[in-house]
Amino acid sequence: MTAPSSHHKTLSLFEFWPDSIFYTPIVIYWILMGLRHGDLSISTAANPRIETGGLCGESKSSILDMVGPTAREAIAPYRIIHNGADAARDVLAAMKEMGIDFPVVLKPDIGCNGTGVRLITSLAMLHEVLPLFPAGVALMVQQLITYPMEAGIFYIRHPDEPVGRITSLTYKEAPVLTGNGRSTLKELIMADPRMRQVPQLYLPRISGRETEILPAGETLSLVFAGNHCKGSIFRNGRPDITPALTERINAIMLDIPDFHFGRIDLKMASPEALKRGEDFQIIEINGVGSEAIHIWDRRTTLTEAYRTQIYHYRQAFLIGAAKKKEGWKSSGILGMLRSWLKQRRLLASYPTND
């Protein structure tokens, strides 16, 4: 019997390896590059106007607040509130200012991997969710973009280049259960070829509903936030990178001062529209700490994944070195450590994401 082709694999070899295993070669490469440049934090200068260049601990809104009018039109409207006794009132005021109604997206202004991202469908839900966040924490209220698909686009522009390039395009799919009128939600998960291999990602999402039976034809989406480690399924879309899309992304990213390296997360109408550079809205822009996430496509080999990771981190170090020559400063080891500890503390205090 021959082994199944990679096209039919439900998981890649390394897709859910512990971070301590998968990222060890990357950490070693990072240290070697830092020693070569005489600064272990030099990559943080790649986006010098952002805390740690967006490696960790940065505010999402601090990146979006810098954009000019061209980029602003492409970004989903948002406001920042601080959690407290009047937080619900502040959220409603922010929604009124943006001219939107429920449902809205509520997420931490400092976060990682979708932790704490919640879809708020009503005022009653808002009152239930706000106490789950620590007092005083900054929260982003953002318009829910109803485009049916989500994607991540990685963008790189060296300081001496007039325009940048797209190095990765990834489509994100939310896993969906489809009822048959007989099976429970838990049985549907355990019958799925992919989900049954990583039940720890999906079973907690139906906590208390395990024995519920979904009517025939009815669907239930298990993940709202488009993050691989939270259960979203990623598909490599690099063949869909077109000159039209690259031109549109350049117009947006060149409208952000001194932004050179990172990933744009967006909602879109369709792959066809995206290839034309049309019908999409950006929901987040991430910096040096982001990845070219097409590596999490189940068909990606371990060699391809490491080649991609090393290529991108090398670009971050080269760009950071060039920005230092321009007079910008890196965050320094202590700066990186402080930002990482701040982010780690905040992530531990957030509720589970939707």
Tell me the pLDDT of the chain (354 aa) as tens digits: 333 333 457 899 999 999 999 999 999 999 999 999 999 999 999 999 999 999 999 999 999 999 999 999 999 999 999 999 999 999 999 999 999 999 999 999 999 888 999 999 999 999 999 999 999 999 999 999 999 999 999 999 999 999 999 999 999 998 999 999 999 999 999 999 999 999 999 999 899 999 999 999 999 998 887 788 778 899 999 999 999 999 999 999 999 999 999 999 999 999 999 999 999 999 999 999 999 999 999 999 999 999 999 999 999 999 999 999 999 999 999 999 999 999 999 999 999 877
* Sheet with 165-173, side-by-side order of all strands: 233-236, 165-173, 149-156, 261-268, 280-286
Whole-angstrom Cα distance, residue 309 to residue 33?
A: 13
Q: Where are the alpha helices (DSSP H) in 298-331?
A: 302-325
CATH 3.30.470 intervals, the chain: 6-174+228-349
Whole-angstrom Cα distance, residue 112 to residue 131?
A: 20
Whole-angstrom Cα distance, residue 219 to residue 242?
A: 34
Residue pair 102/123 in contact (Cβ under 8 Å)? The answer is: yes
Strand partners, 335: none
pTM of the complete model: 0.93
Structure-block tokens of residue 85 = 């006794």
Structure-block tokens of residue 172 = 């994100």
What is the widest separation between alpha-carbon atoms in the chain?
Answer: 66
Provide the 3-class DSSP secondary structure of residue 111: coil
* 21 burial type by CB count under 10 A (0-12 exposed, 13-18 middle, 19+ buried): exposed
What is 6-174+228-349's CATH topology?
D-amino Acid Aminotransferase; Chain A, domain 1 (3.30.470)
Q: Where are the alpha helices (DSSP H) in 228-293?
A: 243-253, 271-275
